[in-house]
Amino acid sequence: MNLIGREFGRLKVVANDRARPGYVICECKCGSKVSVRSYSLTKKQNPTQSCGCIRKEIVSEIGRRTIHDNSAKRIETNMRYNTNFQIIESEEPAKNNKSGYKGVWYDPTRGKYEAYITLHRKKICLGRFSKLEDAVKARKAAEDELFAPLIAAKRAESRSAVAIAR
């Protein structure tokens, strides 16, 4: 059967593959050229429709949706707990933080270090300290008291979600 000139999905047959009997050279709409077995183009069940780019697009679409679902889940959890877990679980201080410690800033008008923590989007002052290390300690204690239970609850929730998914 002469397939030259015929189109199958995204593929157009341009020549017989001289190196491989039973195979034809196809141009794909995406621009690549491939050698395909003639039978796999004409068979009824699951014929070849592209150079492989259709499959790649499906895989990347699934990947994109997974990323989208995960971020939707994160937003939903943050709203339910009224907490930004990406911030409270991060060890990194904010970019504009000059003390180098999360929740500690130096107040030059008072000459003191102030420790604070943001819980449920409200900033709570934890005190002012002459020594940086005391401010860091106060912040750490507040994290243990306020953030740790929230993080533990959220993690327990995602563990049971994984268990159900299995």
For binding to Zn ion (CB under 5 A), which residues are involved?
Answer: 28, 30, 50-51, 53
Smallest separation (angstroms) from Zn ion to the CB of 56: 8
Smallest separation (angstroms) from Zn ion to the CB of 41: 14
Rounded Cα distance, 23 and 35, in Å: 6
Smallest separation (angstroms) from Zn ion to the CB of 10: 6
Smallest separation (angstroms) from Zn ion to the CB of 60: 13
* Residues contacting residue 126 through CB under 8 Å, at least 6 positions apart: 103, 114, 115, 116, 117, 135, 138, 139, 142
| Cβ–Cβ < 8 Å for 93, 68 | no
Q: Determine the straight-line distance between the first and last CA of the chain, rounded to whole angstroms.
A: 49
Residue 94 DSSP symbol: P
Cβ atoms < 10 Å from Cβ of 163: 8
31/100 with CB nearer Zn ion? 31
Q: What's the one-letter identity of residue 40?
A: S
10/128 with CB nearer Zn ion? 10
Smallest separation (angstroms) from Zn ion to the CB of 66: 23
Strand order in the sheet with 112-119: 104-107, 112-119, 122-129
30/126 with CB nearer Zn ion? 30
13/142 with CB nearer Zn ion? 13
38/50 with CB nearer Zn ion? 50
